[in-house]
Amino acid sequence: MKNLIIVESPAKARTISKFLGKDYTVKASMGHIRDLPKKRTGVDVDNGFEVTYQTDPNKKKIIEELRKAAMQAETVWLATDEDREGEAIAWHLSEVLDLKESKTYRIVFHEITKDAINQAMKTPRPINKELVQAQQARRILDRLVGFELSPLLWKKVKPALSAGRVQSVAVRMIVEREQEINKFKPQAQYRIIAEFRFSEKDNETIIQAELSKRLKSKKKAEEFLQNCKGANYEIADLEKKKAKKKPAPPFTTSTLQQEANRKLGYSVSRTMLLAQQLYESGHITYMRTDSVNLSKQAIAIAKKTISELYGDKYSQPRNFTVKAKMAQEAHEAIRPTNLNKQKVGADASQQRLYELIWKRSIASQMKDAELERTTAKIGISTMPKEFLDAKGEVITFDGFLKVYSESYDDQKANGSEKILPPMKVGDKLALIIMKAIQRFTQPPYRFSEASLVKRMEELGIGRPSTYAPTISTIQKREYVEKKNVPGEMRKYSIIELKNDQINETEKTEKYGAEKGKLIPTDIGVIVNDFLMKYFDNIVDYNFTARVEDEFDEIAEGKKDKKNMLKNFYVPFHNKVEHTLQYSEKFSGARLLGIDPKTGKNVYAKIAKFGPVIQIGEADDKEKPKFASLTKKYSLDSITLEEALKLFKFPYVAGTYEGSDLVINTGRYGPYVLHKDSFYSIPKGEDPLEISQERAIQIIEEKRKVQKEKVINKFGNELAVLNGRWGPYISYKKKNYKIPKDVDPKSLTEKECMELIDKSKAKKGRKKK
DNA sequence: CAGTGAGCGAGCTTCCGCTTGACTT
């Protein structure tokens, strides 16, 4: 073997090996090949922050393969990504594979084309040791922060919690957003809208207009309408303005996650899974990137495709520059590998994601859209200083809008693109109706997974490869929950002026409802309070930005890794030690009041197994009593009355079939206990209010499901069962799918075994 | 994929970034 090229991703390796001849073998490292130990820090803080690396046991096979290939090769080309992590991977490879400097070259390329690779091989360079040092500094800092703060949380708050440079700031953003919303006091204002028609020409067209300012009180709104009684209206001024809209740049990981969430309703992890599948089948470029750059070749193909599909006048090749603060741009933007393919993907959800990527990439290479915005000012004879505005917008050239337009989180469904009828200054208008509608100012929106990623990217916290995992971590630790907020009802008033009569009516509206948003839990709030109190420097929004600057200086050789780490670690570690020794247990205890029965204090706090109510003090002779909070309540809002009710558990809701129906809450939520069997009470029901009838209903429902569960049984190990997602085959504790066109009831034992064999065979193929 | 139902104890938990499998529905 003459040449061995090592890249990070196997899909990339496959593509490259197609370009290159027999003299080249291309292999993938599958990311990092070794790391700090799993169970201990692996950093000798007293000895210049020397580290111990361990090879990942799952990577043994790959490493052996690479080592063998490297020994056989005349030349080894380390072609990992051109960023801090990629440089470190190259260095680890050279260490672990014991590569000889004389036959090892470090190369980088940004486009996966034959030319780019050949060019890269003409300009090899040694491994950049400073950049590797910077990566080590990053890794060590994250490890020390995570492995010192987490155990502190176990001791002071609750076991099995975690904290880190990235996740703790993400939680902080969600907690603070919720606090802002709770603090928010809506202000009422009045919006004046009016409908007119022309009094001297065509009577059909209705013109809608609005007062540009809002009126602060009901009194002012009434006055305004009073003053309009008997008024004449005419067009006082007409203004036409030309405007342009530019297409958004091609997708990065973060913008793809946001748009797929807004337009397709995909979660961040679903988007990444589908994108990975598209990437592995060769349909799109790499999906973890912070670059908006397109290759020259891609721009050229886009130009050709746009001309063919829409005509030359729609094409406008463009280069975009990065917006993201800490972008490292090791890859291109996310785009179709073949921009002339409009539709690809193995299933509907892949196709929809691909279509989105295709449209965004193509639109980014198209002309600006041109618009004409018209504003007509309508004069009111009784109030010479006030004007109502009628606004219209016409698209004079659609440009990129032909293909794609970006969505926004706060997009309001008010269809602003209205067209105004032809009119001129002096045209007289007749009022049909004028309304003063009470409107309330709005609190900020809660974060969705995607808008959280957007904010993280703005602050430079996390990387494209970690956005999705971070979001799942903070949910797994139960710091935040993804939930729907039902919203509440409120009244608002409308004052109408019609035929010179003023009428007031009251209406009801729903407000504050949100879907799939991130909401902090009690534990999330308390851990954040703890970190804000003792480690505000770590959860500072600019902490990452500041250390990133220092990592850059290390990479440029201007700063020493050991000094940087020492300057951070010494005060940090002292603070950890000090907190460990001197601070009380941090339970977020809140005194709710006095228990009328015992006269003892009632607290709401976090205990070892989550949020509880405690009656009495820990150092009393008599041990305090505890009750867990049910889902409905949170620590910072539960009242004394509600808290005392929780001590009702376990209680008897009635009897059934001669046995008690006992209601209780346990490890997995509230349940009904009846004759030694447990029946979960569905989420959303208040377990304190379970009647005998409801308890019986819950039991009967479960019995019915269990009865219907077994469709067919063949011996002890094989059965056709009904599960949450429909019928399936269960065999030796493993489950197998039943094809859609097969009737599960008619399946024989033999047919079942055939299906099982088939699915095993399929798996075998996939492995290869 | 369907059942689990704590709370002295002993020993465990944890970070961020790079990758894709193995699992399944």
- Residues in Cβ contact with A358 at an 8 Å cutoff, skipping those fewer than 6 apart: A336, A339, A341, A342
Q: What is the pLDDT of residue A517?
A: 95
Model confidence over A532-552: pLDDT tens digits?
A: 999 999 999 999 999 999 999
Q: A236 phi and psi, to 5 degrees?
A: -95, -30
DSSP string, A20-59: S-TTEEEEE--S-SEES-SSS--EETTTTTEE--EE-GGG
Nucleotides of B under 7 A from a protein CB: 1-7, 12-25
Q: What stretches of A621-709 adopt beta strand conformation (E)? A: 625-628, 651-656, 659-666, 669-674, 677-680
Q: Alpha-carbon distance A436 to A189, whole Å?
A: 9
Model confidence over A245-274: pLDDT tens digits?
A: 999 999 999 999 999 999 999 999 999 999
Q: How far is the CA of A10 from the C1' of B18 (A)?
A: 13
Place of tokens 């090769």: A73
Q: Alpha-carbon distance A631 to A355, whole Å?
A: 41
Q: Is the peptide bond before A486 cis (omega within 30 degrees of 0)?
A: no
CA–C1' nearest nucleotide, residue A150: B14
Q: Alpha-carbon distance A540 to A543, whole Å?
A: 5
Other C-beta atoms within 10 Å of A57: how many? Answer: 8
CA–C1' nearest nucleotide, residue A30: B19
Which residues of A form the catalytic set? 286
Residue lying closest to nucleotide B5, CA to C1': A666
Residue lying closest to nucleotide B20, CA to C1': A30
Q: Alpha-carbon distance A370 to A394, whole Å?
A: 9
Q: How far is the CA of A436 from the C1' of B17 (A)?
A: 55
Q: What is the pLDDT of residue A699?
A: 87
Residue lying closest to nucleotide B21, CA to C1': A767
Model confidence over A489-534: pLDDT tens digits?
A: 999 999 999 999 999 999 999 999 999 999 999 999 999 999 999 9
Q: What is the pLDDT of residue A768?
A: 28
* Closest of A377, A369, A373 to residue A398, by C-alpha: A369
Q: What is the pLDDT of residue A330?
A: 74
Q: How far is the CA of A721 from the C1' of B24 (A)?
A: 16
Residue lying closest to nucleotide B1, CA to C1': A723
Task: Say whether pTM exceeds 0.75.
Answer: yes
Mean pLDDT for back-to-back runs of 10 residues, chain A (768 residues): 94 91 94 94 96 91 95 96 95 96 92 86 96 98 97 92 97 98 96 93 86 95 96 96 96 96 94 94 93 93 97 96 72 93 92 97 97 95 95 93 81 59 93 97 96 96 96 93 93 96 96 94 95 97 97 97 98 96 88 90 86 84 83 86 88 89 81 86 81 88 78 77 72 71 78 73 44
Other C-beta atoms within 10 Å of A421: how many? Answer: 16
Average pLDDT, chain A: 90
CA–C1' nearest nucleotide, residue A29: B19
- Which amino acid does the sequence have at A185? K
Q: Alpha-carbon distance A29 to A637, whole Å?
A: 51
- Residues in Cβ contact with A343 at an 8 Å cutoff, skipping those fewer than 6 apart: A351, A354, A355
Q: How far is the CA of A485 from the C1' of B2 (A)?
A: 28
A489 close to A509: Cβ distance less than 8 angstroms = yes
Q: What is the pLDDT of residue A609?
A: 78
Tokens coding A616:
């009495």
Q: What is the pLDDT of residue A762?
A: 55
Q: How far is the CA of A148 from the C1' of B10 (A)?
A: 22
Q: How far is the CA of A674 from the C1' of B6 (A)?
A: 20
